């Protein structure tokens, strides 16, 4: 598991760069969570967690000066932790996915704080860049751009490296001890998150087009398949 967590931390750091540099949507939950699932050999669980969180926060967009909670960090951690814990317990259930999401949702606000801190430190970098531009020092400009990316990569790689094993340990110790009533509550929570996500997705349908439709269809089909398997 140690090697898997280190690999996930490096991949998480790389994916986080999409939020500040490439911006080709690979840091969206619906992409990032399945990537974590692919690394761990369980894309389906990654899609479940990613679809739930993509819709849950789809109306909180980073537009202009708005800095929403970091949904990428939550989705990546929740998907990875669900799979890692499920591998230890024998299977991944929707109750485990719901528990993982609830556990890691506060990390969205931790990531938001990290984003603010990175932006604040980049202000100093910006002033230095202006001086380099006046001098025409292209090498220094290039180094500063790369240092900004490296700072973001290291921040999220380190966050993942700390938060993921911590979350896995908590889940391994707490989840098996939960009484049946709380397990049933987590099952309801899973479906409630799906319904809340569908409502948020429908609310932004005209703005984001295909992504909410895809996520909603996936969740509906998942619920149907779960129902068929249950009965």
Residue 23: Cβ within 10 Å count? 11
131 or 7, higher pLDDT: 7
211: CB partners within 8 A, 6+ apart: 28, 30, 54, 58
Which pLDDT does position 119 carry in this prediction?
79
Q: What average pLDDT does this structure show over 21-38?
A: 87
Q: What average pLDDT does this structure show over 205-217?
A: 57
**Does residue 77 contact residue 164 with C-beta atoms inside 8 Å?**
yes
Which pLDDT does position 159 carry in this prediction?
92
């Amino acid at each position: 598991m140690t090697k898997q967590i280190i690999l996930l931390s490096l991949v998480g750091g790389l994916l986080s760069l999409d939020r500040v540099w490439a911006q080709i949507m690979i840091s969206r939950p619906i992409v990032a969570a399945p990537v974590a699932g692919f690394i761990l050999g369980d894309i389906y669980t990654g899609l479940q967690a990613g679809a739930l969180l993509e819709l849950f926060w789809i109306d909180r967009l980073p537009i202009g000066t708005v800095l929403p909670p970091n949904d990428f960090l939550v989705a990546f951690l929740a998907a990875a932790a669900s799979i890692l814990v499920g591998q230890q317990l024998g299977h991944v259930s929707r109750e485990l996915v719901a528990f993982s999401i609830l556990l890691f949702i506060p990390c969205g606000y931790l990531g938001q704080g990290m984003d603010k801190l990175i932006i604040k430190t980049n202000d100093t970098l910006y002033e230095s860049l202006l001086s380099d531009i006046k001098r025409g020092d292209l090498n220094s400009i290039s180094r500063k751009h790369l240092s900004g990316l490296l700072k973001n990569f290291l921040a999220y790689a380190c966050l993942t490296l700390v938060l993921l094993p911590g979350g896995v340990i908590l889940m391994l110790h707490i989840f098996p001890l939960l009484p049946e009533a709380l397990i049933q509550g987590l099952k309801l929570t899973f479906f409630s998150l799906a319904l809340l996500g569908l409502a948020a997705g429908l609310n932004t349908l005209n703005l984001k087009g295909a992504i909410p439709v895809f996520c909603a269809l996936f969740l509906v089909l998942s619920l149907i398949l779960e129902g068929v398997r249950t009965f």
